[in-house]
């Protein structure tokens, strides 16, 4: 066949803070229990940062691990794509902080705000830049620090028990594909959004959309508008539906079946969501790799973090066909198929 210019993953890295918060530890802030959390989410523990750690700090560690995995020097990076909903500061973007900490000035740094779908949106962006020949090597990072922005009271527990801090990164490089059945490459990505449901999962403040006319004021803090809010039932049912639809369409487009796929890596929002998607698509449970039990929901970091763990455990190996899917605030959702 005629060679195709594609992107492939050549390195994977991740990082989580040392501080582990088990479900029972949350009792010091709210009325909850290990049994209540595990039954509803599958989460047993999560990692939270120290006060001095920022999102770009976590991203730096994951990026360095990905570069080591790839056997590449940081000077080879042409572009940074940074997916996060919890930036170091309102502006500038965390990609600029990461670029400075890596010591690779002048290359472009792009922040994207697709929340739980952020990594797959970023994967699609990196893939397209590489396919067009604009860049050869892209650092894609998903990193989050949720622990500094949660309502740690009984009122906020439905959301707060879900989230952890962490970062995952991959290095994507250009490759010429002549044999899709054997070579590593990003086969397909599919992106979706429906802003009609934006306020089913959101943090209202700070922002210019607040009716008071202020970016942030004392009343917003009193009302808790800066804490994340979620319609759990709507998010759950929409996630199962949309992830299943998108992944099915991706497999159909690539003319492969569930049986052809060696491993599935889903966004880690709720273990019950991933189990429902697997059941709906008749995916054997052993083909779905989950990490939410130990990390909670790290939004944009969940898929690369899972990828790192799957490689470390020997579950994900070179040559495997991998299906990915995510759903999150926006609503946004996405899917992808790649040969690792």
CA 324 – CA 9 distance, rounded (Å): 14
Catalytic residue among 23, 96, 116, 274: 116
96 is catalytic: no
CA dihedral (157, 58, 294, 25) in degrees, to 10, reads -50
> Is the peptide bond between 92 and the residue preceding it cis, with omega within 30 degrees of 0?
yes
Q: Using alpha carbons, list the distances in angstroms from residue 278 to 42, 240, 241.
A: 15, 9, 11
Q: Which residues pair with 193 in a beta bridge?
A: 332
Catalytic residue among 267, 270, 274, 290: 267
Q: Using alpha carbons, list the distances in angstroms from residue 226 to 91, 194, 219, 220, 300.
A: 17, 23, 11, 7, 20
Q: Which of 292, 256, 296 is nearest to 274 (CA)?
A: 292
267 is catalytic: yes
CA 333 – CA 120 distance, rounded (Å): 9
Overall residue count recorded for the chain in this entry:
340
Cβ atoms of 159 and 54 closer than 8 Å: no
CB atoms within 10 A of CB 92: 12
CA 146 – CA 165 distance, rounded (Å): 6
Catalytic residue among 225, 270, 274, 297: 297
Residues belonging to the active site: 116, 267, 297
């Amino acid at each position: 066949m005629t060679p195709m210019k594609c992107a492939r993953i050549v390195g994977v890295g991740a990082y989580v803070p040392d501080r582990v918060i088990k479900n029972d530890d949350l009792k010091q802030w709210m009325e909850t229990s290990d049994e209540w959390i595990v039954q509803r989410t599958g989460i047993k523990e999560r990692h939270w940062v120290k006060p001095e750690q920022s999102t770009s700090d976590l991203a730096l560690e994951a990026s360095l691990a990905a570069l080591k995995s790839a056997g590449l020097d940081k000077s080879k990076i042409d572009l940074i794509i940074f997916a996060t909903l919890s930036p170091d500061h309102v502006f500038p973007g965390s990609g600029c902080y990461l670029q400075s900490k890596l010591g690779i000035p002048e290359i472009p740094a792009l922040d994207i705000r697709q929340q739980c779908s952020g990594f797959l949106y970023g994967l699609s962006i990196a893939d397209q830049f590489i396919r067009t020949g604009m860049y050869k090597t892209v650092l894609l990072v998903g990193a989050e620090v949720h622990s500094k922005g949660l309502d740690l009271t009984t009122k906020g527990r439905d959301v707060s028990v879900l989230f952890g801090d962490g970062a995952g990164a991959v290095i994507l490089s250009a490759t010429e594909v002549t044999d899709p059945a054997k070579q590593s490459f990003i086969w397909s990505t599919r992106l979706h959004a429906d802003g009609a449901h934006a306020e089913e999962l959101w943090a209202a403040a700070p922002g210019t959309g607040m009716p008071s006319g202020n970016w942030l004021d004392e009343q917003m803090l009193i009302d808790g508008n800066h804490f994340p809010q979620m319609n759990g039932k709507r998010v759950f049912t929409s996630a199962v539906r949309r992830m299943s639809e998108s992944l099915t369409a991706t497999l159909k487009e690539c003319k492969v079946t569930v049986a052809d796929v060696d491993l599935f890596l889903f966004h880690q929002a709720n273990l019950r969501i991933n189990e429902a998607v697997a059941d709906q698509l008749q995916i054997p449970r052993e083909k779905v790799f989950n990490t939410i039990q130990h990390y909670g929901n790290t939004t944009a970091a969940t898929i690369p973090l899972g990828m790192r763990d799957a490689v470390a455990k020997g579950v994900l190996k070179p040559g495997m066909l991998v299906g990915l899917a995510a759903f999150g605030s926006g609503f946004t959702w996405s899917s992808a198929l790649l040969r690792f």
